[in-house]
Every structure is written in C-alpha cells, then in structure tokens.
Amino acid sequence: MINIVLFGKPGAGKGTQAEFLKEKYNLVHLSTGDIFRFNMKNGTELGNLAKSYIDKGDLVPDEVTTNMLIDAVNANPEAKGFLFDGYPRTISQAEALDAFLTSKGTENTATIALEADDNILVARLLERGKTSGRVDDQDEDKIRNRYQEYNEKTAPLMDYYKKQGKFHAVDGIGEISEITERLSSVIDNL
Ligand code: ADP
C-alpha cells in the first residue's frame, strides 16, 4: 500500500495534480476541502459547522476534520492506497493520521510538497474565485487569512515530516503535465 500526503499552500495545485496521480498510481483521492464543500452544498450538520470556519478562511477544528477523514478512509476498505489532499494541516492532525494509519497496519509513505511563491498563489486563487463560486476565494483578506493559518499551523508540518525522513518537495510552477512528472519521479523513487 502506498499512501501519499500531498502538501502545499492554498492554491498550490494539490487538487489538480491529485486528479492525475490517483489514476496513475491507483490511489483513492481524499480531499478534506472537497468533502467539506460536498457537505456544505448538501446542508448537512457537518457542512453547516464547517461553513462557519471555511467562509472566513479559518481552519475547521481538528477533531471535526480528523473524524471526517477517518470515516472517509474507512469507507474505502478496498483501496490500494490513499492520496491525502488538504490533510493534515496541523501537527495534531499529522499525529492523528500517523496513529490511525498505524492502527490499520500501514503508514504514510511520503509527504510531497508543491512549492510556489505566495504572490503567484494569491493571484491564482483570486482568478479561481471568479468561477469556483467559493466564498473563500473571492476576497483577498480571506485569502490572506488562509495564508496566515498556513504559516502558523501548517508550515510546522514540514519539520515534522523532515524528522521522519518523509518530506519531499517539488517546484509547483510550470506546465501541469511537467509538475505531474516531477511528482511522479518522487513517487517512483520511493
Ligand atoms: P485550499 O487549500 O485551496 O485553501 P481546500 O479546498 O483544501 O482549499 O480547503 C478549503 C478550506 O477547508 C480550508 O481553508 C479550511 O477552512 C477547510 N479545511 C480543509 N482541510 C482542512 C483541514 N485538514 N483542517 C482544517 N480545516 C480544513
């Protein structure tokens, strides 16, 4: 089983690349952002709770997110491996993921970061906001808040995974297919 954590700032292209990688490596793609948006659209209790955080650009509380992620993994007992996109985003989530995967007799194989400059990313998100319908993409203050959340809570995960010898980074700027190649060469050498 290979399990990959796709890591990167908002707008880095995790979702775009996940679409290619899941096919290539036969992985189940779990995007916490997508699961939250599905729940928001359907007005579930989880969706209504998440919305109050997401629309401001804040992270959803760890316990809520982790329980949701665990349910999503358990809903795919036949999976050959998982591609985690948008999870973990805090140290507590990373610890929960490690403990959970260990309890399933598996582990996180590697964390791969897509790197890109903040200014490029903010511009990408504002552009995406014109068509995505996402409230959190439409306002520069909310986007900046997501970067602040990232810098405070998510960036420390790089050291967490470096200490485990599992951190890899690729340049996230370029043609989509070139970036898929860069990610693939990391995965093929694991
Ligand atoms: P992006 O990475 O482009 O900001 P996502 O679609 O991954 O967007 O996530 C959208 C929002 O969903 C985040 O800003 C956050 O509010 C919430 N969210 C997603 N994943 C998590 C997580 N692991 N922990 C807490 N909140 C999360």
C-alpha distances out from residue 31 to 119, 141, 144, Å: 24, 24, 21
pLDDT at 53: 97
pLDDT at 188: 98
Give CA–CA dist 12/114, Å, rounded: 6
Q: Six-digit token pair at 98? A: 């490690």
Residue nearest to atom 5 of ligand 1 (CA): 33
> Looking at the domain 2-188, which fold is it?
Rossmann fold (3.40.50)
* Model confidence band, residue 43 (pLDDT cutoffs 50, 70, 90): very high
What is the mean predicted confidence (pLDDT) over 19-32? Answer: 98
Please work out whether the CB of residue 87 comes within 6 Å of at least one atom of ligand 1. yes
CA of 59 to the centre of ligand 1 (A): 6
List pLDDT tens digits, range 117-137: 999 999 999 999 999 999 999
CA geometry: angle 51, 72, 181, nearest 5 deg: 95
Residue nearest to atom 19 of ligand 1 (CA): 33
CA of 127 to the centre of ligand 1 (A): 18
182 is in an annotated binding site: no
Give CA–CA dist 160/166, Å, rounded: 9
Taking the CA of residue 8 as reference, the ligand 1 atom at the shortest distance is 2
Q: Considering only CA atoms, which of 65, 64, 94 is closest in space to residue 3?
A: 94
List pLDDT tens digits, range 79-118: 999 999 999 999 999 999 999 999 999 999 999 999 999 9
